[in-house]
């Protein structure tokens, strides 16, 4: 207890020196705290982006490879006889363990006998589209507001379906009614679970000579779950694959080749989009990391010098305390407690102030990084648009977006990290000088002064 009391008194006794050490500590703590806060925030955002959006993979035909691989014929489409990626293959690819998710939409022509459709024509066997989807928000029309469920809910059970308000009104259909869907000789009964308002045909005009075809009118689409669509039959399938981790692209590609993907298809991530979103954050992390290392290194050296000078200055005090019978351990503990008290005060002020200034600094850094990214975009490297964080971000998942602001807050973990860095640095730097002096016998210290 007396060690603590004496340490407290010593802080006041050596106010000038302790103030100098306190200012240095405060600068180090403040700068480190700002760096750690920005770093923590950017890391959280990057991790969040990775978790939410993964990394989009596209499959595209590499004509060069196809020709080199002998796929060229005179009769093939575009002069190439290539193996198309079938819906069955796409469904198989979706089972890859490297994927976070696969977003799929399918289209199948079908007929519902007796159903009055928009722009009807007797010339068509099939008069409606049966569109399957494995995620309810996958359709851009629901995201951009052209379609909206106004009655019922999204399909949850097998054979559930959604129809447009136009079809529902035209046929006086309501939730719970069934549709008998025919495709070839097969018949399937679908239950209406929801009705959506459909503005996708708003403003669409037909050329007077254009043949009337109900399949050209999107009001005639029946929407259902992918599982239901698969059971009925999929004619065309659009699949977008999202990797769990962008670095597993090569493994995913190898897996696809194993599953039958011809070698002349490119398997690529949407690297530009990912970079556009995460790039500024990663750059900010790099800047703050470098800044933190420089501050810690320079700060540690300055603190070490000041502490070494302070230890020399206190050499006599150490000699007196040792001559009075204070053990080496207690002398070191007393000095460490003193430094700890100064550090705690600096930590409190440093953390508080850095929590206040980290936000504007972070915004300024992010803005400069976005400007750099936009500059690059002008040069044709990437396309960048900006949106706020929040609900819109999730809705616009499929677009290439960059953050326009960063939310920086002092978390418990960040505070702990900063505290450990500060205390470790302060104690280590102060005790090095003290321990060096402690090697001498008290008589030598006192006689040197004499």
Partner 1 sequence: MSILELKNVSYAYKGGDGKVLNGVNASFEKGIMYAVMGKSGAGKSTLLSLISGLDLPTEGEILFDGTDLKTVSRDAYRAKSIGVIFQSFNLLTNATVIDNIILSMNISGVKGGNKEAAYALLEKVGIDKSKANRKVLKLSGGEQQRVGIARALSHAPDIIIADEPSGNLDGSTEDSVMQLFKDLAVKDNKCVIIVTHSKNVAACADEVLSINNGVLSPMKRSKLLK
| Nearest distance, CB of residue 306 and partner 1, angstroms | 18
Min dist CB 416 to partner 1, Å, is 34
- Shortest CB 16 distance to partner 1, Å: 11
Q: Phi, psi (5° rounding) for residue 37?
A: -65, -45
Q: Give me the least distance between CB of 406 and partner 1, in Å please.
A: 48
What is the rounded CA–CA span in Å between residue 154 and residue 162? Answer: 7
Residues with Cβ within 8 Å of 362's Cβ and at least 6 positions away in sequence, in order, are: 37, 38, 41, 284, 406, 408
Q: What is the closest distance, in whole angstroms, from the C-beta atom of residue 430 to partner 1 in the complex? A: 18
Nearer to partner 1, 158 or 448 (CB): 448
CA 305 centroid distance within chain: 43
Q: How far is the CB of 14 from partner 1 (least distance, A)?
A: 7
Rounded distance, CA 146 to CA 161, Å?
Answer: 18
The token pair that represents 300 in the structure block: 């540690």
CA dihedral of residues 308, 314, 320, 323 (deg, nearest 10)? -10
Closest approach of partner 1 to the CB of residue 373, in Å: 58
The residues with which 110 forms a beta bridge, in sequence order, are 128
User: Taking a C-beta distance cutoff of 8 angstroms, is the pair 222, 106 a contact?
Assistant: no
Contact positions vs partner 1 (CB under 8 A): 2, 6, 9, 13-14, 317, 319-328, 330, 441-443, 446, 449-450
- List of E strands, 5-87: 55-61, 72-77, 80
Residues 6+ apart with CB under 8 A from 293: none
Output 120 or 317, the one with its CB closest to partner 1.
Answer: 317
Complex with partner 1: residue 20 or 326, whichever CB lies closer: 326
Report the nearest approach of partner 1 to the CB of residue 435 (Å). 16
170 burial level (CB within 10 Å; 0-12, 13-18, 19+): middle
* CB of 22 vs partner 1, minimal distance in Å: 18
Q: Where are the beta strands (DSSP E) in 88-201?
A: 99-110, 128-133, 147-152, 160-164, 178-183, 186-198
**CA nearest neighbour of 410 among 43, 46, 36, 42:** 36
Report how many helices (DSSP H) and strands (DSSP E) the chain contains, helices first.
14, 14
- d(CA 1, CA 9) in angstroms, rounded, equals 13
């Amino acid at each position: 207890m007396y060690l603590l009391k004496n340490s407290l008194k010593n802080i006041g006794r050596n106010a000038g020196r302790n103030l100098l050490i306190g200012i240095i500590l405060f600068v180090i703590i403040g700068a480190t705290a700002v760096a750690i806060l920005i770093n923590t925030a950017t890391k959280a955002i990057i991790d969040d982006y990775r978790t939410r959006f993964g990394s989009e993979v596209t499959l595209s035909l590499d004509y060069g490879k196809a020709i080199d691989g002998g796929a060229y014929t005179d009769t093939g489409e575009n002069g190439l006889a290539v193996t198309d990626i079938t819906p069955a293959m796409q469904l198989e690819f979706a089972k890859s363990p490297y994927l976070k998710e696969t977003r799929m939409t399918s289209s199948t022509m079908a007929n519902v006998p007796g159903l009055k459709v928009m722009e009807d024509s007797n010339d068509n066997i099939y008069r409606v589209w049966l569109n399957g989807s494995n995620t309810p928000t996958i359709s851009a029309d629901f995201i951009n507001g052209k379609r909206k469920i106004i009655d019922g809910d999204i399909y949850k059970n097998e054979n559930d379906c959604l129809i447009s308000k136009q079809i529902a009104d035209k046929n006086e259909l309501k939730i719970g009614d069934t549709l008998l869907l025919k495709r070839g000789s097969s018949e399937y009964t679908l239950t209406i679970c929801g009705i959506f308002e459909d503005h996708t045909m708003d403003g669409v005009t037909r050329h007077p000579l254009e043949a009337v075809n109900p399949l050209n009118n999107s009001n005639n689409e029946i929407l259902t779950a992918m599982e239901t669509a698969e059971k009925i039959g999929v004619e065309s399938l659009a699949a977008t694959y999202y990797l769990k981790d962008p670095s597993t692209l090569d493994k995913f590609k190898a897996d696809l080749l194993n599953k039958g993907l011809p070698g002349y298809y490119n398997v690529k991530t949407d690297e530009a989009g990912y970079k556009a979103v995460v790039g500024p954050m990663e750059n900010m992390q790099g800047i703050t990391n470098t800044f933190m290392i420089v501050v810690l290194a320079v700060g540690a050296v300055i603190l070490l010098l000041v502490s070494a000078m302070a230890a020399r200055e206190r050499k006599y005090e150490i000699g007196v305390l040792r001559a009075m019978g204070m053990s080496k351990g207690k002398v070191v503990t007393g000095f460490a407690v003193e430094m700890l008290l100064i550090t705690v005060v600096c930590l409190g002020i440093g953390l508080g102030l850095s929590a206040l200034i980290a936000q504007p600094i972070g915004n300024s850094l992010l803005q400069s990084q976005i400007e750099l990214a936009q500059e690059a975009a002008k040069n044709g490297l990437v396309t960048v648009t900006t949106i706020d964080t929040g609900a819109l971000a999730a809705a616009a998942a499929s677009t290439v977006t960059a953050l326009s602001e960063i939310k920086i807050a002092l978390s418990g973990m960040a505070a702990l990290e900063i505290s450990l860095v500060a205390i470790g640095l302060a104690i280590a730097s102060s005790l090095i000088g003290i321990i060096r002096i402690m090697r001498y016998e008290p008589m030598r210290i006192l006689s040197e002064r004499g």
